[in-house]
A = this chain, B = another copy of it.
Amino acid sequence: MNFIRRTFALLIVALAGQTLAHAQDPLPSWNDGPAKQAILAFVKEVTDKSDPKYVVPEDRIATFDQDGTLWVEHPMYTQVMYCLERVPALAEKKPELKNVEPFKTVLSGNRQAMAKLSMKDLEKILAATLTGMSVDEFNAEAKKWITTAKHPRWDRLYTELTYQPMLEVMQYLRDNGFKTYIVTGGGQDFVRVYSERVYGIPPEQVVGTAGGTKYGYEKDGKPFLTKEPRLLLNDDHAGKPEGIHLMIGQRPYAAFGNSTGDQQMLEYTKAGDGARLAMLVLHDDAKREYAYGPAEGLPDTRVGTFTQALYDEAKKDGWIVISMKNDWKRIFAFEN
């Protein structure tokens, strides 16, 4: 009896110890290093009332780029995959598209030919597959796709290819009173479909490239919104701070990106008073994910570009570069 009690007591202590260890490390998927230390130090400063850099909770805003910062962006942006895969269903509804480029090439399934499509071609495909339907129809289609479509390399749902260390940072910031936002060059409506489930970020905290909608009535008088091919916000490059002003109205205290598309958001964040955190994810892990950008001397790709100039600005301006290879203990939740 005494032995059992003693064992039980030890077990309790051990479990409590484990809980404590976990509570002490809010970023378990990060290796100890300058990136992790910068995050911890920043949160300590802005939440400590006795620190001159203390920030009241209502001003604690953190913004995150999505593609390449929160999840894999290779070999192609996930949303572009969605648009390409929507083309067959679109051609069923509008058979006249079957003989028109660039739809003809997409329908051919010839991946080599598809890889050569120009930006103009892609824009045509995006407009055709993302607009001209009601908001409710779009949401239903996108939701269906994102819960079934898989990434060719890992044969896993795209939503499983989110970076575990970044999910931890978002949670850690929220636990410390931050409101976390996605600020993406991707489509606002697309990301809003899964943002709550995947990132714990509600739709209203997703800022992205957005088109206009048009209010109208069905035959029975019921009102609905149609997605229009009219660009309201091009949420990339300078469009990111402009989008942040439009949608949030406050300058972030922390911002995370990975490409030239995030440059202005990081500059704008870092230019504020007090403690500001700007971080840049460097894709330098060809084995576990991909390597591209100046670290590997790789050429620019169609996806977000991480140029030498961006790297230099980061170093000069005090942004923290996150090395996926060195700073991340694991990249995906499904890894051991």
Contacts and interface: CB of A to CB of B under 8 A. Distances in A.
B204 A250 contact: yes
A177 interface: no
B247 A247 contact: yes
A286 interface: no
Given A223-B241, A225-B241, A241-B223, A206 B249 contact: yes
Contact of A196 (B58, B238, B264, B268): B58
Nearest to A216: B238
Q: Chain A contact residues: over half helix, strand or loop, or mixed?
A: mixed
A249 B58 contact: no
Interface string A246-280: 11111000000000000010011001000000000
Given A246-B210, A249-B203, A223 B58 contact: no
B242 A188 contact: no
A188 B249 contact: yes
A299 interface: no
A28 interface: no
Interface residues of A, number: 35
B188 A214 contact: no
Interface of A: 58, 61, 135, 179, 188-189, 192, 196, 202-204, 206, 210, 212-215, 222-223, 225, 232-233, 238, 241-242, 245-250, 264, 267-268, 271
29 contacts: A135-B245, A188-B246, A188-B249, A189-B249, A192-B249, A203-B249, A203-B250, A204-B247, A204-B248, A204-B249, A204-B250, A212-B242, A212-B246, A213-B242, A213-B245, A213-B246, A214-B238, A215-B238, A215-B242, A215-B264, A215-B268, A222-B271, A223-B241, A223-B264, A225-B241, A225-B245, A232-B233, A232-B246, A247-B247
